[in-house]
Structure 1
Amino acid sequence: MNKTKDILITGFALFSMFFGAGNLILPPFLGFNAGPDWFLVTIGFVITAVAIPILGIIAHARLQGTMYDFGKKVSHVFSIIYCILVYAICIILPAPRTASVTHEMAIAPFFKSSGLLTSSIYFILVFIFVMNRSKVLDLLGKYLTPIIIAILLAIIGIAVFIPADTMQPSQLQMPLVDGILEGYQTFDALAAMVVGAVLIISINLNNSQSFAVKRQLIFKAGLVAGIGLFVIYTGLILIGSLHNSEFPSTITRPELLLALGNKTLGSAGASLLSILIALACFTTAVGIITGTADYFKGLFNNSKQAYTLTAIIGSLLGVVMGQFDVGYIIDIAIPALMFIYPITVILILLNTIPEKWATSLVFRGVVITAFIFSIPDFLKILMPSENLNAVIDFIPLAQFNLGWMIPSLLMFMILNGFEHFNPSNAS
């Protein structure tokens, strides 16, 4: 009984770490555009927003270390640079997005203030909490997540049983691929790297059991968290599709979630949801900047100055980026995600398979391949050209922004075949 209780408690804690409130605006809008193709986009979205992140937790269960351990087989320098990039992306994109979501869902509907004013006040408060760690946020997190989940399940349940009379056709040409790429925007694969390490530390502090027992605990807790994410994400995609004929095509992601709340729970319920999501966004922003500041503090021999400077930089970036619309932040995140996600996915997958198939040589070869073949994906967004299009046409799946997949798989097979027939070359 205690073992089951530990699994559930750890699983719910992990779920709440993944449960970035900003992510909730993505699935309904995806369903809204998919219409009758909602099932295909759900499959794609679940692959990158649920399956890959949970595999990341399973990899953490095997490693029981930090994010650094994911890339150490490539090289020490690579792993350090990778960690810095992940944290940098987190404070530049998902952290400010929480302020933008807060403005569009909880401030703009009631006040006519600017996004800059919201982001300024928001990140001043974030900085104060980052510099003065408090259990208030932990308590908020414990109570906020269950309440938001209850409200979301109510919205999903009611919306499913009162669908619109008609459904607009799909606006997506490649629903499965669009689901996969939209899943990037949750940042959940990156979150798996970060929160998995936090989970390991917490378990080690409160659990003196063996490595194998802790591995089972983390593995099963990851499955619990994955089921929770799957239910919420799938439900939100479904109701977005069922009610896509009731809202204008110009509706934004936050507006759609609020509109669905209004339709199912009335204006009072939707207002409560928007306030709770704003609070949850705030705890997420504090968590991201605190975690990033902790990392750089450790990188510079536990320097308090490094912690403070990182917190200042993170908060200033939050003010600058958080004033923009959610849609704009999502759009400018695409190149960064096209760059970091393939490498992240490869690191997660290589750390989940048996070690005999994931030697240092395989790690280096496959990661380098994924990096090289992901370059056209983010270059065509930053600087499209006819020459680049010719390269993209040549690479399998590159037209779907997935050009790294097949070359990485081939490199994995080639290097393992090479090591199998040349055992002396194994690392």
Structure 2
Amino acid sequence: MTFTFFSMFFGAGNLIFPPFVGAQAGAMTPMAAAGFIISAVGLPILGVVAVSLAGGFEQLAGRVSPKFASLLGLAIILTIGPCFAIPRTATTSFEMAIVPFTGSMPQTLSWLPQLLYSATFFAVSFILSAHPERLSKTLGRFMGPLLLALIAVLFVACVVRHSSGFAAPMGDYVSGQVSRGFLDGYQTMDLLAALYFGIVISANVRSRGIGDESQVRRETALAGVGTGMLLIIIYGVLAYMGAASGSIAAIDPAHDTGATVLTNLTAALFGPFGTAFVGLVFVIACLNVCTGLISTCGTYFMNRFPVVAGHRMKYRTWGAIFAVFSFVVSNAGLSMIIKVSVPVLSALYPMAIVLVALTLTHHVFADRFPRVYFWTVLLVGAVAALGCIASLVAVFGGALPWLDATLGLLPLYDAQLGWLTPAAVGVVIGMVDSVMRRR
């Protein structure tokens, strides 16, 4: 179960963020990696346990309200699908496989390779999404071990090649490395995905003939712990590689990404043939992930919205819509996708965190005060949404001084943890509301 669990979480996208954390944190990589691991490993595992305890995502989020469960589910699917995760598969594989070999391309035509690549990539993904199980059966069995083998080879090469010390922190990691690493852990999107994975893992456990619910929860928890240990080791190794890359090939944190870190490392350590091989592996892995995501989103929308404007929407119609939409978004570039996704994830993650926390304490606390779900998520969601608006405006070069000043009054807002105070207030209001309703 552990390796099944691991394969559901670990994709090509998970490879690019830990090295970027290490490349920026430098000598402070242990602190930054600790924060990253808390949000990228700890929270998703707790999310799986929470969903298993609640009996599914709809039941978990429905404790706030049925409409909220539908809206949050739609927001999660769009986030881990066509808005961010699906386009990121094309841009990540493009930067790993194509960019290193387009250095001589004229600046006026620099957009053309990505346009042609992404068009081909999504066309193939759309065709394969008609039968995604075939791709998973042929590639899924060896892509995971191959990616892990590549990580091991790169790690050993970095250890052998790295002889000097580590650089000083730069970029977003000049200060507050732990909190910055925690926030960058959102980029894996694994907590959001875990809210759907939890019920799948529980079903797999039951399919083995385990009927006792306490035993199901125990097996799910053990698989989660095993997966967490694997992810901690791998993320630690990748963060070290990023920190060591400073003495091998430096990066510009304002414009480069984790894909740049890995590309520079493979080029410096193994030359163009090594870069081409790693790029090919990324293309296959990203194609596999993209096909699965298109299939997941197409199935979700077909079931949720079978008729739109009087027209019956089939699975392949939704798949084509997501492929075309993702093609358009992917040509914004990996760096822009990441910049825009940060505010959105910073809005969704706090709500997911409080839902998981309340579910884990349901039998000892939240069940006695059921209104804490509504009030906590309402206040946290309001603050997170306003913060998302302010951040998105800043990403596109604007500013809302009055909103920034208002949000800045919240404790820990500078560390992007301003939602903690509204969460505490929501718990108190929810307890009072629950007591009054009982009376």
- Taking structure 2 as the reference length, the TM-score comes to 0.87
Paired residues of 2:135 and 2:288 also in contact (CA < 8 A): no
Query: Which amino acid letter does the alignment assign opposite residue 411 of structure 1?
Result: G
Distance 1:217 1:266, change over 3 A: farther
Q: CA deviation at 1:349?
A: 1.8
Query: Which amino acid letter does the alignment assign opposite residue 331 of structure 1?
Result: K
Paired residues of 2:162 and 2:248 also in contact (CA < 8 A): no
Distance 1:158 1:341, change over 3 A: same
Tell me, yes or no, if structure 1 residue 277 matches structure 2 residue 282.
yes
Alignment correspondent of 1:335: 343
Tell me, yes or no, if structure 1 residue 405 matches structure 2 residue 420.
yes
Q: Does the residue aligned with 2:247 lie in a helix, a strand or coil?
A: coil
Q: Does the residue aligned with 1:131 lie in a helix, a strand or coil?
A: coil
Alignment correspondent of 2:249: 247
- Cα deviation digits, residues 29-71 of structure 1 (max 9, x gap): 1111111111111121112111101101111331343x22220
Task: Summarize the alignment of residues 238-387 of structure 1 with structure 2, pairs less than 5 Å apart.
Answer: 238-250=240-252, 251-264=256-269, 267-300=272-305, 305-359=313-367, 360-383=370-393, 384-387=399-402
Match of 2:216 among 214, 217, 227: 214
| Aligned counterparts of 1:265 and 1:414: Cα–Cα separation in 2 | 59
| Aligned counterparts of 1:353 and 1:160: Cα–Cα separation in 2 | 43
Across the aligned residues of Structure 1 and Structure 2, the Cα RMSD in angstroms comes to 2.4
Segment drifting more, 313-322 vs 270-279? 270-279
Tell me, yes or no, if structure 1 residue 54 matches structure 2 residue 56.
no
Match of 2:74 among 61, 81, 84: 84
Alignment correspondent of 2:27: 36
Alignment correspondent of 2:405: 390
Paired residues of 2:249 and 2:268 also in contact (CA < 8 A): no
| Aligned counterparts of 1:301 and 1:284: Cα–Cα separation in 2 | 25
Alignment correspondent of 1:139: 138
Unaligned 5+ residue runs, structure 1? Answer: 1-9
Alignment correspondent of 2:96: 105
Alignment correspondent of 1:125: 124
Distance 1:235 1:78, change over 3 A: same
Report % sequence identity. 27
Tell me, yes or no, if structure 1 residue 182 matches structure 2 residue 184.
yes
Tell me, yes or no, if structure 1 residue 425 matches structure 2 residue 438.
yes
Paired residues of 1:61 and 1:216 also in contact (CA < 8 A): no
Paired residues of 1:300 and 1:306 also in contact (CA < 8 A): no
Alignment correspondent of 2:200: 198
| Aligned counterparts of 1:287 and 1:347: Cα–Cα separation in 2 | 26
* Count of residue pairs the alignment pairs up: 414
| Aligned counterparts of 1:182 and 1:371: Cα–Cα separation in 2 | 20
Paired residues of 1:115 and 1:324 also in contact (CA < 8 A): no
Q: Does the residue aligned with 2:360 lie in a helix, a strand or coil?
A: coil
Paired residues of 2:202 and 2:217 also in contact (CA < 8 A): no
| Aligned counterparts of 2:300 and 2:374: Cα–Cα separation in 1 | 24
Alignment correspondent of 1:4: none
Segment drifting more, 109-118 vs 278-287? 109-118
Alignment correspondent of 2:157: 158
| Aligned counterparts of 1:239 and 1:108: Cα–Cα separation in 2 | 21
Distance 1:406 1:206, change over 3 A: same
- Cα deviation digits, residues 119-143 of structure 1 (max 9, x gap): 1111111111222343332331121
| Aligned counterparts of 1:126 and 1:205: Cα–Cα separation in 2 | 30
Q: Does the residue aligned with 1:415 lie in a helix, a strand or coil?
A: helix
| Aligned counterparts of 2:64 and 2:433: Cα–Cα separation in 1 | 18
Alignment correspondent of 2:59: 69
| Aligned counterparts of 1:309 and 1:219: Cα–Cα separation in 2 | 38
| Aligned counterparts of 1:401 and 1:165: Cα–Cα separation in 2 | 34
- Cα deviation digits, residues 205-258 of structure 1 (max 9, x gap): 454532222211111101111111111111111221133133233354212112
Query: Which amino acid letter does the alignment assign opposite residue 2 of structure 2?
Result: G
Segment drifting more, 128-137 vs 13-22? 128-137
Segment drifting more, 305-314 vs 392-401? 305-314
Paired residues of 2:306 and 2:313 also in contact (CA < 8 A): no
Query: Which amino acid letter does the alignment assign opposite residue 121 of structure 2?
Result: Y
Paired residues of 2:248 and 2:265 also in contact (CA < 8 A): no
Paired residues of 1:357 and 1:416 also in contact (CA < 8 A): no
Distance 1:402 1:298, change over 3 A: same
- Cα deviation digits, residues 358-403 of structure 1 (max 9, x gap): 2331111111111122134212212332212221221011122211
Q: CA deviation at 1:326?
A: 1.2
Q: Does the residue aligned with 1:248 lie in a helix, a strand or coil?
A: coil
Paired residues of 1:289 and 1:311 also in contact (CA < 8 A): yes
